[in-house]
């Protein structure tokens, strides 16, 4: 994923902000332990959200006081099954992003992909069906781009299907329908928002972009897409309300109700958000 799914930290209570830091740092720590320190450089907000979401349902993570290798001091970090899964999923998605960047001609992406290859092989062996779903998503996405797909729903479908599977992966059966629906809507939201974010860069390079393929200028794409993006968030929120996830509910609700709309507005306006260092 791409760093768009984040809380609105100015609206968090101090204890909620500390809890988000604990999940974020926990995923970072787990990445280092499971896949090597290089992987920490790839960390984004999105997979902390996955850890929050899954632990809210499963309740399989706990706080530990561990040393941060970057800051040198000890911090509270969440550790456990949901956090470890988020770290492994993050590695697979980061490797996929590097492959996509390599295809787009980014020279350093090939080196990054080669460095991650042993860890990716290990994680793929742990989750063969998830790795296969990711490969199918990449294949379908590449095919749509080669065809110059101009339908936003069709272009977003492979990624939204993968996120649907990712959100529900290894979760209790009663929670899977709501999580799949959440993942499907958030997958569309990420794909469309990322295309808006990359519009100018893709236009300069002559690269595929769904909004350009559909014949929209950036201004027209924003006007067309923003209501759809808000609808995706609303549908994801409705699905989340079906879950019993009180443990992390305040954080997830902040992300859905305030964080994601705030990021969406920033992308539409061509500005970056900076809420300070985690």
Fold adopted by 9-268? Farnesyl Diphosphate Synthase (1.10.600)
For the segment 54-91, what is each residue's pLDDT rounded down to a tens digit? 999 999 999 999 998 878 889 999 999 999 999 999 88
Structure tokens at 165: 């599977």
User: CB 153: neighbour CB atoms within 10 A?
Assistant: 12
For the segment 188-229, what is each residue's pLDDT rounded down to a tens digit? 999 999 999 999 999 999 999 999 999 999 999 999 999 999
Predicted pLDDT at 7: 95
For the segment 108-151, what is each residue's pLDDT rounded down to a tens digit? 555 566 777 888 889 999 999 999 999 999 999 999 999 999 99
Does residue 166 have a pLDDT over 80? yes
Predicted pLDDT at 277: 61
Of residues 270 and 112, more confidently modeled: 270
Query: 277 in helix, strand or coil?
Result: coil
Helices 176-197 and 46-58 pack at an angle, to 10 degrees, of 170
Q: Are 66 and 29 in contact (CB under 8 A)?
A: yes
Q: Are 131 and 124 in contact (CB under 8 A)?
A: yes
Q: Over range 28-50, report the average pLDDT.
A: 84
For the segment 226-239, what is each residue's pLDDT rounded down to a tens digit? 999 999 999 999 99
């Amino acid at each position: 994923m791409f760093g768009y799914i984040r809380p609105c930290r100015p609206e968090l209570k101090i204890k909620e902000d500390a809890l988000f830091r604990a999940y974020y740092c926990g995923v970072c720590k787990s990445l280092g332990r499971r896949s090597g320190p290089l992987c920490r450089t790839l960390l984004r907000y999105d997979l902390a959200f996955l850890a929050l979401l899954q632990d809210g349902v499963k309740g399989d993570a706990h706080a530990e006081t561990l040393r941060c290798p970057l800051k040198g001091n000890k911090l509270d970090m969440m550790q456990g099954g949901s956090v470890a899964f988020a770290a492994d999923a993050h590695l697979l998605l980061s490797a996929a992003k590097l492959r996509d960047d390599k295809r787009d001609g980014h020279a350093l992406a090939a080196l990054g992909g080669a460095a991650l290859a042993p860890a990716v092989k290990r994680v793929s062996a742990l989750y063969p069906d998830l790795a296969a779903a990711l490969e199918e998503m990449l294949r379908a996405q590449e095919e749509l781009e080669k065809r110059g797909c101009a339908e936003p729903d069709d272009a977003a479908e492979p990624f939204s299907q993968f996120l649907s599977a990712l959100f529900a992966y290894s979760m209790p059966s009663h929670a899977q329908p709501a999580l799949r629906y959440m993942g499907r809507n958030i997958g569309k939201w990420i794909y469309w928002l990322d295309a808006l974010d990359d519009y100018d860069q893709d236009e300069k390079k002559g690269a595929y972009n769904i909004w350009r393929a559909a014949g929209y200028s950036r201004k027209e794409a924003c006007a067309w897409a923003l209501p759809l993006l808000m609808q995706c968030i609303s549908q994801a929120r409705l699905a989340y309300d079906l879950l019993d996830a009180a443990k992390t509910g305040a954080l997830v609700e902040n992300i859905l109700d305030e964080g994601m709309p705030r990021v969406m507005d920033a992308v539409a306006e061509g500005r970056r958000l900076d809420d300070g260092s985690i």
